[in-house]
Amino acid sequence: MIRQSISAALTAAMKARDAERVAALRLVQAALKNRDIEARTGDAPADDDALVIEVLQKMAKQRRESIEMYRAGGRDDLAAREAFELAVIEGFLPAQLDDAAAEAAIAAIAARVGATGPKDMGALMTAVKAELAGQVDMSRASRLARAVLEARATG
């Protein structure tokens, strides 16, 4: 479903002669095509949207890192282009949970899997990734999970 949305957006951007958006959407489609090729040799998710979300999240993370580096290097023109691509990519991602909702969900998962301290981080993150994939950036989820486990360990 997300893949079809991307194709429809590309067609609309081409008709509107929006060259920047066309370029960004073609980058997304190329990344999806590369992931499809990789999936032929490995284990592909059963849900196509899960695969697309995984690719989009990886692309968004790359854009965020590039924006930081370009701004640090004084290249605001390149940072602006990356920010535009990031906005296009994020337009296809499902809504992200805010910190409070994500922390509450992670705390509930921690209670369910019996995670009581930092030593249970691996088990907790496995469950979080399975349940909250696409809803929370995993680096942010890791930070929140660490805070939840520290709070549970101290009482």
pTM of the model: 0.75
User: How many alpha carbons fall within 13 Å on the CB side of residue 65?
Assistant: 7
Chain-centroid distance of CA 123 in Å reads 21
Structure-block tokens of residue 78: 């390149």
Whether the CB-CB separation of 50 and 35 falls below 8 Å is answered with no
Q: What pLDDT sits at residue 116?
A: 84
- Enter the DSSP assignment of 44: P
Q: What is the pLDDT along the chain (155 residues), one digit of tens a residue?
A: 889 999 999 999 999 999 999 999 999 999 999 998 887 876 655 677 888 888 998 999 999 999 999 999 999 999 999 999 999 999 998 888 888 899 999 999 999 998 888 888 999 999 998 888 778 888 888 999 998 888 887 76
Radius of gyration of the chain (CA): 18
Please report the domains of the chain, with CATH numbers, ordered by start residue. Answer: 2-90 (1.10.1510.10), 99-154 (1.10.10)
Structure tokens at 103: 């922390």
Residue 20 has a pLDDT of 96
